[in-house]
Structure 1
């Protein structure tokens, strides 16, 4: 039992309260004492009780009257009530008590075993009720998460269909042009377009397969000790088609100090290539992309900045989530399935590194930072 259970003891005589407290004291049970009905009502406003033991005969507000008020209040009507009485146990009196909301009576002088036995029943019922409420809330949260996941899945499938249909249409049209003898058709341009769209489709499928492998724990890193300066050009080369087609300027700032990494070269190229390609896609034509390399203690730091459309504040928390592609305020569509940064994050973490969004604002571009451990 992790939550403290509370009982309310109400009696106008302090010695009676002390006696009840001594009889009921146990680990995990918190006993609150009230010397009047009014004091008891104040306590009920601030606490949730598993049981209330009320003295029937109290000056001012008696036990029956207090019980009737409790039953009329939504916050306290569920609290089980046991009346403690030294008076007559005749049927009329008991009927009045039950009518007021009692679940039981205990006669004075109190028999300790009977009191403990009856109290334990309500303590156990309260604990079970709290567990049921907790399970209900967990089920409600799980149902809500499933609904959100289902909605996200449907959105993803719609985007996937769109992303695959466009390249397929280009490939189909390109094949028709290649097979039909039409004058004036630039077949080299057609082939170039077909290759570009084929690469796009291949990238989509590869990203999906990589995400699936990572989630199933099936990606094995083939690490090598390699100089950052030797591998960075290969990573940037992946993004060059997107940079050149948009007329971007690429600036690379690197340190003269050699930095030795222990990474999977293929995955490192994938990490940096995806980030720079992402920057190129979300930067309007003729923009600037800057890649800087530095080190901090035992980490190599790779920073990628762009002059792109930026990410609204409300969407910055989801960019590393699966399918968390950001909308943008200037209408530049990055394409893709919105899984690029999610894949990069998982690959970076497989290398015991981290990635973060340093800054971003609509119309002012974005800056991402990847930190990877230096080789020992």
Structure 2
């Protein structure tokens, strides 16, 4: 171990470097490890003007304890220490996953052999400095790793901001979808209560008039029959619009809505449908927003199958995996050539609906072998 007199001459004179600017105002932490207090003080003096958060340790064990409490931008580690030398300390530091990539610069006041230098680099050191140490060179080496530390912190902060922005966008999209769903519900109710009831009352009145006018000319009687047919067509159209906006059966729960939708799909297309789900999966902490999202995705999927799949069978499965509810829609149609390049408006809309709930959307398709659509919605 070098004497205190030797430590005074450990450094050549140099020009102090400028200070580094941390991205969040928090100085980069640097750890100095040496069993000689005078050498620690000399090292700390050299980097005192760099605006760093300097911690010191007088042994390898103390350095390891400090590493359990915080991360460091760079560690300056003495080679010659009693009990646990620098090589052993470096091996233990890099053997710990959290500090496996922490830069270590070996610092020694004594000349070493080539084998020691090789041992230093193989133990994970990024540099090996011998005395006499030039202060500006040491600061320049430290500055490289501090800059990397600041860059990593900047990227971390940016990633956090990006995640925050994505979360806010999901919340905004979810709120917009909720508003749209509420507006659909309101319009459907207005159409049902106003237009639907008015058409029904009109049909009743004309039917009564039609039944009581058997003595009128046949032409007028036929005309009234045509009017009734037109009213029936209008009533069916109104009911279709209401179901597209907000199927009343959805208010009875997801199970009733899915069963109704599949029955309507079977009657309209002739495609065989099956559904497999446990009773408890329909009632597993599923709020109206999630139930509506799953129902809308099912609607859009069946519509896509009708238009593009040329399928003869559709199998629906609803099941839980942990705190996720998964909906799988499988058809035996023609499949897709390239799922990644598929950007239809319907699929984009489904992805957006799932994204607003923080869910997962996956398409598995092979040409000629059908398509499997899997949606996972978190229940939390």
Normalised by the length of structure 1, the TM-score is: 0.46
- Whichever structure has more helix as a proportion of its residues is 2
Larger radius of gyration: 2
TM-score normalised by the chain length of structure 2: 0.46
